Chain A
Amino acid sequence: MMNTNHVNGLTVVSIGTGERLGSVSEILLDPAADHVAAFAIAAGGGGLLSSSTPQTRWVSANDVHAIGPDAMTVENDSALRESPDAADMTPVSVIVGEKVVTEGGTFVGQVASAEIDEQTMSVTGLEVSPGFFKSNKVVSKTDVITVGDEIVVVADAVCGPPSTHSTRELDRADETTIYEAPRADNDEQ
């Protein structure tokens, strides 16, 4: 498994020529956000001493040989395309920041990144940030119901198992028990 934050910025290398073709600038998912469809590559330019600006090229996910810890490799530079194969693809950067809520309406957090299987190019989960001072969590793709333009809806199970206790209005006896019962520390005084 690999995080899209790791893939972004990764150097793209041609195995056939040993050339650096560019670096990954965007990851594009299919419309259902189930699989990685393509990668946008910032090709050429961009160096400290280079006056030329990088051009965006595209590599289909099918043309990727491997995504490793240090580089993405393709068989040769013919993998670079002038335009993406399909138009209706969702950039991961668009999903990042979207609010994640459960079917029951509970706010879970915001999408921080996606987890992908670099072998099959399938999206295996979404990394969700619940907010400051809380560690990020990965929601399995099987629990993701909808990836919308503004909100990602996930299964209620993401927030833990549903309560087994039924709920009801407090009656008079409950209120007495809760609010009028003598406190233990008062008794001691």
Chain B
Amino acid sequence: MNSKDLHELPVLSIESGEKLGTLARTYLDGPGKRLAGFAFTESGGFRKVESEPNIDTKDVRTLGPDALIVDRRESIHGDTVNAHYEDFLVLDELTHRPVMSRNGTSIGHVASVEFDDRSFRLTGIEIQHGLFGAHEQIPIWKVVTIGPDYVIVDDSAIRTEEAPAVAANEPTPEIIEGSAV
């Protein structure tokens, strides 16, 4: 499943059959490379204040293309997200984050992430090369670190036209004749 599919996904209770709200945020455990949980906007109404409760992934019964389904409103605890809130990355903030290889070559930026909708483990990241460049899927095993400033990937994720092209285009000074190099 792609992170783009989570945008404003309805949260449904399978027991009551009611819509509890819509997904507002997705939390990512960067070091663990998995989704940690969600926050959803619980609709306000008469004598009811709008709120954004957290959902742990273990509270989720099913995550499908059209809805996130929980057993009932009471089964939503969000204990893990509440406890480690500051350690997690908000998925929206990961998008557009620069992607760098271990050898210091800029590859592009994160366009989205792919994950398994049962285990919530990341399976890959979609990278956009440049502002209007092509998109490319990088498998998660090539992702070294998902950090606050950069996503670091293995050098093998570099396309052939990247790193060498930058260095090769730089003008090289003239070498003095008779000077051994």
Residues in A lying within 8 Å of B, measured CB to CB: 2-3, 6, 10, 13-20, 65-73, 124-125, 127, 135-140, 142-143, 157-161
Contact = CB atoms under 8 A, between A and B. Distances in A.
Given A70-B100, A136-B173, A158 B147 contact: no
B173 A18 contact: no
B65 interface: no
Contacts of B83: none
Given A15-B102, A69-B105, A6 B176 contact: no
A6 B170 CA distance: 10
B145 A71 contact: no
Given A140-B181, A160-B177, 6 more contacts: A18-B148, A20-B149, A68-B163, A70-B105, A73-B100, A139-B176
A67 B105 CA distance: 9
Name the residue among A15, A67, A161 with the largest chain B CB count within 10 angstroms: A15
A135 B173 contact: yes
Nearest to A154: B179
Contacts of B151: 18
Contact of B104 (A13, A18, A20, A161): A13
Contacts of B179: 138-140, 143, 157-158
Given A17-B147, A125-B181, A73 B175 contact: no
Contacts of A158: 176, 178-179
Name the residue among B149, B175, B176 with the largest chain A CB count within 10 angstroms: B176
B176 A68 contact: no
Interface of B: 30, 100-106, 144-152, 163, 166-167, 170, 173-181
A69 B167 contact: yes
A137 B178 CA distance: 12
Given A139-B179, A157-B179, A70 B106 contact: yes
20 contacts: A6-B170, A10-B104, A15-B102, A18-B148, A18-B149, A19-B148, A20-B149, A67-B104, A68-B104, A68-B105, A68-B163, A69-B106, A73-B103, A73-B152, A124-B181, A127-B173, A136-B174, A138-B173, A138-B176, A161-B178
Contacts of A159: 176
Sorted from nearest, which 8 A-B pairs have the closest CB atoms?
A18-B147, A68-B104, A70-B106, A69-B166, A66-B103, A71-B104, A20-B149, A18-B145
A138 B163 CA distance: 23
A13 B149 contact: yes
Contact of B145 (A16, A124, A140): A16
